[in-house]
Amino acid sequence: MPEPKYISLTVDGKTVTVPEGTTVLQACEKAQSPVPFYCYHPGLSIAGNCRICLVEIAGTPKLQIACYTRAAEGMVVNTTSDNTLNGRRDVLEFLLINHPLDCPVCDQAGECWLQDYYMQHGLYDPKFDEQKIKKPKAVPIGPTVMLDAERCILCSRCVRFTDEISKTGEFGIFNRGDHSEIGVHPGKTLDNKYSGNVVDICPVGALTDRDFRFKCRVWYLGSTNSVCPGCSRGCNTQIHYNRERDWRPHIANGERVMRLKPRYNPDVNQWWMCDEGRYGYHFIDENRLTQVQFRRNGAVQQKPWEEGLELIAGTLKQLRDAKALDQAGVILSSHMTNENLYASRKFFTTLGVKQLVFQRPKSGSSDTFLIQADKSPNARGAQALGIAEGAEALLDLAAKKALRVLFVFVQDLTELFGPSRVQEAARQLELLVFVGTNMNPTSQLAHVALPSAVYAEQDGTFTNFEGRVQRINAALTPWGEAKPEWQVFSELADKLNLGLAFADPQTIFTELAKTEKPFQGLSYQLISDQGALLKK
Burial 229-248 (b: 16+ CB within 10 A, else e): bbbbbbbbbbbbbbbbbeee
Q: Tell me 455's DSSP state.
A: G
pTM score: 0.92
Enumerate domains of the chain plus CATH numbers.
6-96 (3.10.20.740), 103-209 (3.30.70.20), 292-533 (3.40.50.740)
Q: Tell me 406's DSSP state.
A: E
- For residues 364 and 373, give the distance between their C-alpha atoms in angstroms, rounded to a whole number: 5
pLDDT at 250: 46
pLDDT at 104: 87
- For residues 144 and 140, give the distance between their C-alpha atoms in angstroms, rounded to a whole number: 8
Q: Tell me 467's DSSP state.
A: S
pLDDT at 243: 82
Backbone angles phi, psi at 50, to 5 degrees: -85, -25
Q: Which residues fall within 8 angstroms of residue 55, CB to CB, at 6 or more apart?
A: 24, 28, 35, 63, 64, 65, 66, 69, 77, 78, 79, 84
pLDDT at 130: 66
Q: Which of 364, 358, 362, 349 is nearest to 378 (CA)?
A: 358
Burial 478-497 (b: 16+ CB within 10 A, else e): bbeebbbbbbbbbbbbeebe
Average pLDDT per run of 10 along the chain, which is 536 residues long?
Answer: 86 95 96 94 94 94 95 95 93 86 87 84 68 88 95 94 96 89 93 97 95 91 96 97 65 76 97 97 93 88 93 95 95 97 97 95 95 97 96 94 95 93 94 96 95 97 98 95 96 94 96 96 96 93
Q: How is the beta sheet containing 54-57 ordered, strand by strand?
A: 14-19, 6-11, 76-78, 54-57, 64-65
pLDDT at 134: 86
- For residues 476 and 258, give the distance between their C-alpha atoms in angstroms, rounded to a whole number: 12
- Indicate the SS3 state at residue 359: strand
Helix then strand count (H, E) for the chain reads 16, 24
pLDDT at 526: 97
> Three-state secondary structure along 144-192?
CEEECHHHCCCCCHHHHHHHHCCCCCCEEEECCHHHCEEEECCCCCCCC
User: In this structure, are residues 6 and 21 in contact, taking their beta carbons and an 8 Å threshold?
Assistant: no
User: In this structure, are residues 310 and 234 in contact, taking their beta carbons and an 8 Å threshold?
Assistant: no
